[in-house]
Structure 1
Amino acid sequence: MKNNKKLFILLFSLLSIFIVSFGCIPNSTQITTTTIYNNQDTDVSWDKNLSMYEVNIRQYSNEGTFNSFIDHISRLKKMGVGIVWFMPIHPIGVVNRKGTLGSYYAIKDYYGINPEFGNIDDFKNTVKILHSNGMKVIIDWVANHTSPDNNLTKDHPEWYVKNTDGNFIPPNGTDWTDVIQFDFSKKELREYMINVMKYWITEADIDGFRCDAVDWVGLDFWKECIPQLNKIKPVIMLAESQNPDFYAAGFRITYGWDLLNKMKNIANGTADLNIIETYINSELTNIQKNNYRLLFTSNHDQNSWSGTVYELFGNYCEPFAVLTYALDGIPLIYSGQEAGLNKRLQFFEKDPINWTTDKFENIYTRLNQLKLNNEAMWNRNYDSQLKRVKTDNNNSIFIISRENNNNTVIFVFNFSNTISKFTITESEYNGNYKDLFSETNVSFSQEQIQSLNPYEYKVLIRISN
């Protein structure tokens, strides 16, 4: 009788574990997960020297699918891309949909794949191929709101914010009429959101998340969520916020909107180039070495709603792209920038990128490879030093030096519309250099008068003193 009792207890325990393990995923999406991770075996050196590339699957090709995107992976590898960020991959709501295809950020099913793009196997295969080519993968995560026809509105209406009439409402102060706001004070909602994020790590083997509208969700949720994700494997966490408080919540990357706005101000003539030095000093003082900004001249929001880099920056679009690599952080390339993307991609309609050969592909490739391979370009967490080098023409010429472990790279910019002559005032930068783009050897010293054309830039790699 004792043995039978023990057997009953064992079977009951196993049944309980089975129920708990599978109870958190809706019946329609119960998928057995077999991936096992060992935190000690996980490579976390992504923060050292990698760039990021944002993928807009809908507009990436005429097909707009994961399978068609795969054809571009070898090209991205040659460009030296380190982290691939997919805009939301989930099904899009129909109720209150904007345009024909709707916003990627109106999520109908957190466990699903947008059928426009393919299916779960297509996505998992894409992730696998990216990993085999040495790239990390993160997906856009929209925790703050859903489409009005998300099943959660029926299964858990208490998880949403409502007005005095008891109706669902969009996020306060927005025109996002195609989505409705979650209430993250609800414990069950928080548990659900953490579990579904875990699902994508374990099921699809992604490496992290770009988290949308994090300020609305609140710091306390992310402080609860991110440590649990890191128990599966260390994750790359990018917050769509410039607030440095999100670093303490577990994010390693936040948005570099301040730099973007300063570049816009220089381009439209409302500020001079010295505000870049203000930015550098502020970041060096206020941002810890193991935290990073995402630095960009474009992304999905900027391109569709504010304008192309040519509209925003005019003659500055090239030097500002180079500037995002000169500074400490994670440089971002948006889909099509390497092809000279010169149109605002429609957000709610099909509007494929026109893939042409453009000088920007060579620019980004050389800069990515430089960041990967030259220790002076590694982020501050790996002991690189960054400073402005003064000249006798600081109103037009801006020079940034990066140094680490006997490696030196100098970025020289003429941020004016005239030919500018200058000499450097610091002898420590005297020496012989190789020009990254022309591949010619040049000398640099206090005795030499240098000259740059309007908006011209040079990236110089020290060969010898």
Structure 2
Amino acid sequence: MKKIVLVLMIFSFLVSCKNESEKDQNTVAETAKDSLAPVSDEMMETAVIYEANIRQYSPEGTFDAFTKDIPQLKELGVKVIWLMPMYPISMKNRKATGGRNVEDIEDLEERKKYLGSYYAISDYRAVNPEHGNMEDFDELVQTAHDNGMYVILDWVANHTGWDHQWLEDHKDWYTQNEKGEVVDPINDETGESWGWTDVADLNFDNQELRKAMIEDMLFWVREHDVDGFRADAAHSVPTDFWETAAEAIKAEKPVFMLAEAQDPKDLFHNAFDMGYNWEGHHIMNSIAKGEKSAKDWDEYMQKIDTTFQEDDFLMNFVTNHDENSWAGTVRERMGDASEAMLALSYTIPGMPLIYSGQEYDMDKRLLFFEKDTIPKTKGKVYPLLEKLGELKNTNPALNGGKNAASYIDIKTSAEENILAFKREKDGEVLYYVANMTAAPVSFTAEMEGDFSDYMSGSELSISKDQEMQFEPWAYKILINK
């Protein structure tokens, strides 16, 4: 009898130890998971977003190689990391450089160098083995959280690659022609293909597709603790799908939602927090080329002030993966205006973007379908981004989210050439003044007082009707003393 009692006591002790161990492990897991405050409107006001191209970020092209650099991103004021698609890529109809298909290349060794488009996804719930495994991915997310940064995934809802299992199991989830053949995405205005022949167009009239898509998004939030999504070609998918998806995801935890779109405006009512400032970006390019003026920028800011809701905001950028690979480098598009435009992207309402390599003065177009590598030598842009990032993170006058600082146009005697505006919030006042031309300009501006020149660290006094002269593309960020 005593032996039975002793055995029961030992068993009870072991069970108790096991339960305590599991409790301790769960506590550690919860502590790790809760190491970052939930996504909030306050975070969005001061955030800088970083677009991470894992394939091209390092010679290895791995999650691990990027993860070790995450702490360094704090130097640039980064609070949100957007990962370009890191899912497996379809082999069928895979694209190669020069508009070719990999299948058309006879040399098998030549084929191997073409890795395909990040946006031709074969499985929404897996990671591309070229980047590592799921544990490597989880370590990236946890490292970001430990360093006070949120991670959002590029979500490609409009289409899948041709190897996706859905094509075998659910052909009715795809857009089909009159012959019942699945088609690649079609331009609704012309009725012709966009030329994205490496992907199959999804049909969002199918309610079962919608449910499956939302479940795949929830997988990353529930199982891997991601903090939101950047929706590729968001305007190509019905707004009511995004609204349903956002509601389901936010029931799990607060998330940050970015739409690759500036229209339709109702995308930003319930589905997305932020959109792309595409039109503003193109105006920047045009000003740099001498095709548009500072006055055109003023008119654009007046337009968006009346067409967007008060709590809508946009992502500002001088480059991203599309612009870099297809339209040209910052230097190619903006030339000597590059720095003034970068400073502008930080000082207007919204959230500024840094694209992989931009911080290292990257002046090459990254290959899109092949392995490439960004430079890793700090030059002129890195310290500039450090300084701008600190200002964005700390000065309420640059709040740019749903409760943004005010934006007031400052009149000058050279409205076509000089861009000047004032930002103000919580008693903090900041001015941006820039010569938006390739020639020196003398002008007066409706501003006066004692200022700190933020970029140079010098002090500056401006009296009423004082004439100022700015060299080509010169700019100043002035803070009221």
Q: Normalising by the residue count of structure 1, what TM-score does the alignment of the two structures yield?
A: 0.88
Q: Distance in 2 between matches of 1:391 and 1:261?
A: 24
CA deviation profile, 1:305-326 (whole Å, cap 9, x unmatched):
1111111111211111111112
Residue 354 to residue 108, structure 1, CA distance change in 2 (3 Å): same
CA contact (8 A) 1:386 1:402 kept: yes
Q: Distance in 2 between matches of 1:36 and 1:368?
A: 26
CA contact (8 A) 1:210 1:238 kept: yes
Q: Distance in 1 between matches of 2:148 and 2:428?
A: 25
Counterparts of 1:151-190 in structure 2, within 5 Å, are 151-172=165-186, 173-190=193-210
Q: Distance in 2 between matches of 1:34 and 1:90?
A: 28
Q: Distance in 2 between matches of 1:445 and 1:185?
A: 63
Report SS of the residue matched to 1:59.
Answer: helix
Residue type of the partner of 1:183?
N
Of residues 147, 158, 161 in structure 1, which corresponds to 2:161? 147
Alpha-carbon offset, residue 447 of structure 1: 4.5
402-411 or 286-295: which moved more?
Answer: 286-295
CA contact (8 A) 2:260 2:275 kept: yes
Alpha-carbon offset, residue 108 of structure 1: 0.5
CA deviation profile, 1:160-209 (whole Å, cap 9, x unmatched):
11222222211013111111011111111111111110110111111100
Alpha-carbon offset, residue 380 of structure 1: 6.0
Q: Distance in 2 between matches of 1:338 and 1:42?
A: 25
Of residues 39, 43, 46 in structure 1, which corresponds to 2:43? 46
Of residues 31, 52, 71 in structure 1, which corresponds to 2:68? 71
CA contact (8 A) 2:184 2:201 kept: yes
Counterparts of 1:390-401 in structure 2, within 5 Å, are 390-401=411-422
Q: Distance in 2 between matches of 1:34 and 1:232?
A: 18
CA contact (8 A) 1:35 1:202 kept: no
The answer for the alignment partner of 1:238 in structure 2 is 258
Alpha-carbon offset, residue 440 of structure 1: 1.2
Report SS of the residue matched to 1:395.
Answer: coil
Q: Distance in 1 between matches of 2:398 and 2:301?
A: 15
CA contact (8 A) 1:219 1:249 kept: no
Q: Distance in 2 between matches of 1:67 and 1:41?
A: 25
Q: Distance in 2 between matches of 1:36 and 1:62?
A: 30
Counterparts of 1:27-426 in structure 2, within 5 Å, are 43-99=40-96, 100-172=114-186, 173-243=193-263, 244-379=265-400, 381-382=402-403, 384-425=405-446
Report SS of the residue matched to 1:394.
Answer: coil
Q: Distance in 1 between matches of 2:344 and 2:38?
A: 35
Residue 157 to residue 440, structure 1, CA distance change in 2 (3 Å): same
The answer for the alignment partner of 2:452 in structure 1 is 434
The answer for the alignment partner of 1:444 in structure 2 is 462
Q: Distance in 2 between matches of 1:421 and 1:215?
A: 43
CA contact (8 A) 1:65 1:118 kept: yes
Q: Distance in 2 between matches of 1:338 and 1:35?
A: 30
Alpha-carbon offset, residue 295 of structure 1: 1.1
Residue type of the partner of 1:169?
V
CA contact (8 A) 1:53 1:85 kept: yes
Q: Distance in 2 between matches of 1:82 and 1:34?
A: 20
Report SS of the residue matched to 2:75.
Answer: helix
Q: Distance in 1 between matches of 2:404 and 2:55?
A: 40
Alpha-carbon offset, residue 452 of structure 1: 1.4
CA contact (8 A) 1:326 1:411 kept: yes
Matched residues, percent identical? 39
Q: Distance in 2 between matches of 1:62 and 1:41?
A: 33
CA contact (8 A) 1:208 1:235 kept: yes
Residue 228 to residue 178, structure 1, CA distance change in 2 (3 Å): same
Report SS of the residue matched to 1:270.
Answer: coil
Report SS of the residue matched to 2:78.
Answer: coil
Q: Distance in 2 between matches of 1:70 and 1:41?
A: 21
- RCO higher in 1 or 2 (8 Å CA, sep ≥ 6)? 2
308-317 or 377-386: which moved more?
Answer: 377-386
Alpha-carbon offset, residue 291 of structure 1: 1.4
Residue type of the partner of 1:346?
L
Alpha-carbon offset, residue 34 of structure 1: 12
Alpha-carbon offset, residue 349 of structure 1: 0.2
Q: Distance in 1 between matches of 2:389 and 2:144?
A: 17
Residue type of the partner of 1:413?
A
CA contact (8 A) 1:138 1:206 kept: yes
CA contact (8 A) 1:50 1:371 kept: yes
Residue type of the partner of 1:98?
K
CA contact (8 A) 2:440 2:472 kept: yes
CA contact (8 A) 1:95 1:178 kept: yes
Q: Distance in 1 between matches of 2:184 and 2:143?
A: 38
CA contact (8 A) 1:93 1:150 kept: yes
Query: RMSD of the TM alignment (CA)?
Result: 2.0
Q: Distance in 1 between matches of 2:179 and 2:44?
A: 48
Residue 380 to residue 80, structure 1, CA distance change in 2 (3 Å): closer
Alpha-carbon offset, residue 390 of structure 1: 1.2
CA deviation profile, 1:381-428 (whole Å, cap 9, x unmatched):
335211111122222211111111211111110111222222223xxx
Q: Which runs of 5 or more structure 1 residues have no equivalent in the other structure? A: 1-32
Report SS of the residue matched to 1:264.
Answer: helix
Residue type of the partner of 2:74?
K
The answer for the alignment partner of 1:462 in structure 2 is 480
Alpha-carbon offset, residue 290 of structure 1: 1.8
Residue 35 to residue 459, structure 1, CA distance change in 2 (3 Å): closer
Alpha-carbon offset, residue 448 of structure 1: 2.9
Report SS of the residue matched to 1:381.
Answer: coil
Q: Distance in 2 between matches of 1:298 and 1:42?
A: 25
Residue type of the partner of 1:372?
N
311-320 or 58-67: which moved more?
Answer: 311-320
